[in-house]
Amino acid sequence: MVRWSIAAALLSIATPALASAERPLVLAFGDSLTAGYQLEPGLGFAPQLQAMLRRHGIAARVADGGVSGDTSAAGRARLAWTLDGLGEQPDLVIVELGANDMLRSVDPAETERNLDAILAELKRRDIPVLLAGMRVARNADPAYIRQFEAVFPALAAKHRAAFYPFFLDGVAAVEGMTLPDRMHPNFRGVKEIVTRIAGPVKGALGR
């Protein structure tokens, strides 16, 4: 039922009849950080990014492919049906996964395998990618920090994908930018994320 609901929501945003070179389709494929966790409809990452791009003169449609709680393994498992559920091939996929791997202390090698498979499938389908990196809390084991954070730039280079180093740049640990849990961005936090990532998204769309 959950998967059907997500697919229906994606289809409500993008259908083949709407496909146009002038109206590119962007898929935000991630976890709660892109899903607008605890935010009112219209205030999450996908709708705010769509509004920002349109203010910049790009009539993009941004589909919300975020699922709260997803690890890189869960994202890998649902990638194909998420893409097929869109009804058309996206012009760009923003891959934002790994935060839940980090919170669960998943072996960075496993995170790397899952993200590598996701990027390989997107490459196979000839879909451009913007890979968003994730960072680890500074009080974590230094070896884990190095291994985990190295995964993202290495994979971006391997797959020649556009790379945004830290999805929560300007928001993580910044007062007034997160929900009370101090992890998820509030409306202001999402707005800051969108402001900072809009340029790289425009660049990736123009590749």
- Would you please indicate which residues are annotated as catalytic (active-site) residues? 32, 181, 184
Segment 16-22 long-range contacts (CB within 8 Å, at least 24 positions apart): 16/87, 16/88, 18/61, 18/88, 19/88, 22/59
Identity of the residue numbered 148: F
Any idea which residue has 């879909």 for tokens? 127
Q: ∠ at Cα 116 (21, 25), nearest 5°?
A: 15
Give CA–CA dist 196/192, Å, rounded.
Answer: 6
Q: How far apart are CA 78 and CA 95, in angstroms?
A: 13
Closest CA relative to residue 65, chosen from 138, 121, 7: 7
Nearest C-alpha neighbor of 92 from the set 62, 128, 116:
128
Element (H, E) at 73: helix 72-86
